[in-house]
């Protein structure tokens, strides 16, 4: 089994995995980072979203062999204290219900705001499209992204 040296949440870590093992399972099973969720396994729901060099990607379909030297950020690495502006906005708007989609939603929103601190409503909808929330809190998710953008823009 190959050994991979990967940079996750600012730390250089080593792990063994088959080359086609999805990053999601390396994070959860090998490294104990369980904040990233398994939802569908086919990159359709967004629950498994992480950042790869700051870009939101679906970790359930990304093989560990494709990560290479790119930096991976999970929900655990977004902010040590959970006080990233997107996380603050999520709490202030009271987005969470069951919370299962939350990590993927937050990571997608953070990637968007990392690229554009004041996105339009359409840009928010486009970026967040494909992140499924079974509880249907889409309006509050949108509100939280707008609020986070004001926090980031200050």
> How many whole angstroms separate alpha carbon 87 and alpha carbon 104?
12
Domain count, the chain: 2
Residues 24 and 58 in one domain: yes
106 lies in the same domain as 48: no
Angle of helix 121-128 relative to helix 138-153, nearest 10 degrees, comes to: 120
| Predicted model pTM | 0.96
Report which of 121, 144, 122, 123 is spatially closest to residue 133, judged by C-alpha positions: 144
Q: Are 64 and 108 found together in one domain? A: no
On whether both 73 and 89 belong to a single domain, the answer is no
Given 78, 96, 118, the domain boundary residue is: 78
Ramachandran sector of residue 121 (left: φ over 0; alpha: ψ -120 to 50; beta: rest): alpha
Assess whether pLDDT exceeds 80 at residue 154. Answer: no
The CATH number assigned to the domain holding 56 equals 3.10.20.30
| Domain ranges, residue 97 | 85-153
**Among 27, 48, 78, where does a domain finish?**
78
Across the chain, mean pLDDT equals 97
Is there a single domain that holds both residue 94 and residue 74?
Answer: no
Q: Within this chain, do residues 149 and 123 fall inside the same structural domain, yes or no?
A: yes
d(C-alpha 119, C-alpha 31), whole Å: 34
Average pLDDT over residues 75-82: 94
Give yes or no: residues 64 and 102 share one domain: no
| CATH number of the structural domain spanning residue 139 | 1.10.150.120
87-128 per-position pLDDT tens digit: 999 999 999 999 999 999 999 999 999 999 999 999 999 999
- C-alpha dist (Å) from residue 128 to 10, 20, 31, 137, 143: 25, 27, 27, 12, 12
Residues 118, 68: one domain?
no
Mean pLDDT within 12-29: 98
Shared domain for 102 and 74, answered yes or no, is no
Instruction: Please check whether residues 108 and 130 belong to one and the same domain.
Output: yes
Of 58, 78, 98, the domain-final residue? 78
């Amino acid at each position: 089994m190959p050994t991979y040296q990967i940079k996750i949440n600012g730390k250089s870590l080593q792990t063994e995995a088959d080359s086609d093992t999805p990053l999601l399972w390396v994070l959860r099973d090998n490294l104990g980072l369980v904040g990233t969720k398994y939802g569908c396994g086919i990159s359709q729901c967004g629950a498994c979203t992480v950042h790869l060099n700051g870009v939101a990607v679906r970790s359930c379909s990304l093989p560990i062999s494709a990560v290479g030297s790119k930096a991976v950020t999970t929900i655990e690495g977004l902010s040590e204290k959970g006080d990233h502006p997107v996380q603050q906005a999520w709490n202030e708007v009271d987005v969470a219900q069951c919370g299962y989609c939350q990590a993927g939603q937050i990571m997608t929103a953070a990637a968007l705001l990392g690229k554009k601190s004041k996105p339009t409503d359409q840009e928010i909808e486009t970026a967040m499209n494909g992140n499924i929330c079974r509880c249907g809190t889409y309006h509050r998710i949108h509100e939280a992204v707008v609020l986070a953008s004001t926090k980031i823009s200050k």
